[in-house]
Amino acid sequence: MAGQSKIKRYRRLVQAAVFMMMFIIPALNILEIYFIKGTFYSIDVGNAVAADPIAVFQAAMSSKSVNIYMALSVVIPILLMLFAGRVWCSWMCPYHFIVEGVSFVKRKLGMKKSFPVHTPEKKRRTETARLIILVCFIALAGVAGIPLLNLISAPGIISSQALVLVKFHYVTFELVFIIALIIAEFVFFPFFWCRLFCPTGTFLSLFKSERGMHLKRVSSSCSMCGSCKRACPMGLDPVTDGSSLLCHNCGDCIDVCPDNKKQETLRFISGRQHNFPS
């Protein structure tokens, strides 16, 4: 379908807009315009507030209490996850945007670009390992009384560094962590942090539902050419893994699918759909 090729274009526009807003918001605050304020740890738009659920969860663990403000702050992110899937990761996360830029540079330099493809067993192990890492860090946060996962939250660090840079004209030592990740992206396979470690992505994936937006093969005419598998940054087989906790609805598989040019074969759907149309 002709319209499917526009997914990446739309995604790039959203990513660029979100990235620029990290710098525009503190600039507006300097001008004493406070309708919108905050970072990706917690952001206020008028009377609405949205916070990183994992940051709120850690705060609750550390303080051993939850107030109504904390509870309401996670409503928007969780609803977004339930209805639209993990779109935060591929459509809005500034680190994902940067890593796609790294992949572009590597391609221009002729460096190897490969997404290790998961077998079903590897996929299960990866999902399990991510959850174990998340649980261990949350447990440490509860014991230490410190939100440890905030120290390795790439989107939170990037947005907070953007705020500090605009308002105070310097950056803090936290930026070293992001620089180290970017260097590692050049050394290891692309999106290794997003795929294996990212605590925010792992936590959000817990709210993923098949009733929300996810990938689905909707036609039996699929040629099984494997183009979608080679394009998937998470190393999934989109034909069978559209509901995987690792899938972040980037749509790259839909864009490259040659069968979609003849008949809609792979697309985003909401709700359950089991039978292929004739």
- Parent domain of 203: 2-209
Domain count within the chain: 1
| Rounded-to-integer distance, Cα 243 and Cα 154, Å | 24
Q: Residue 51: what are its φ and ψ, rounded to 5°? A: -125, 155
Question: Does 236 reside within a domain?
Answer: no
Q: Which residue has the higher pLDDT, 178 or 147?
A: 178
Query: Mean pLDDT across the stretch 239-244?
Result: 86
Winning range, highest mean pLDDT, from 33-42, 66-75, 79-88, 213-222: 33-42
Question: Does 221 reside within a domain?
Answer: no
Question: Does 217 reside within a domain?
Answer: no
Q: Residue 124 carries which side chain, given as an amino acid letter?
A: R
- Split at pLDDT 50, 70, 90, the class of 27 is very high
Question: Does 125 reside within a domain?
Answer: yes
Nearest to 173 by CA among 187, 157, 184: 157
Specify whether the CB–CB gap between 229 and 237 falls below 8 A: yes
- 105-142 pLDDT, tens digit per residue, is 888 888 766 666 667 888 888 888 889 988 888 888 77
* Burial of 132: CB neighbours in 10 Å, binned 0-12, 13-18, 19+: exposed
Query: Average pLDDT of the chain?
Result: 86
Query: Mean pLDDT across the stretch 219-245?
Result: 87
Question: Does 34 reside within a domain?
Answer: yes
Q: So what's the pLDDT on residue 4?
A: 44
Least confident of 129-138, 142-151, 189-198: 142-151
pLDDT beyond 60 at 145: yes
Question: Does 152 reside within a domain?
Answer: yes
| Rounded-to-integer distance, Cα 111 and Cα 104, Å | 10
Question: Does 101 reside within a domain?
Answer: yes
| Rounded-to-integer distance, Cα 221 and Cα 276, Å | 9
DSSP letter at 40? Answer: S
Question: Does 86 reside within a domain?
Answer: yes
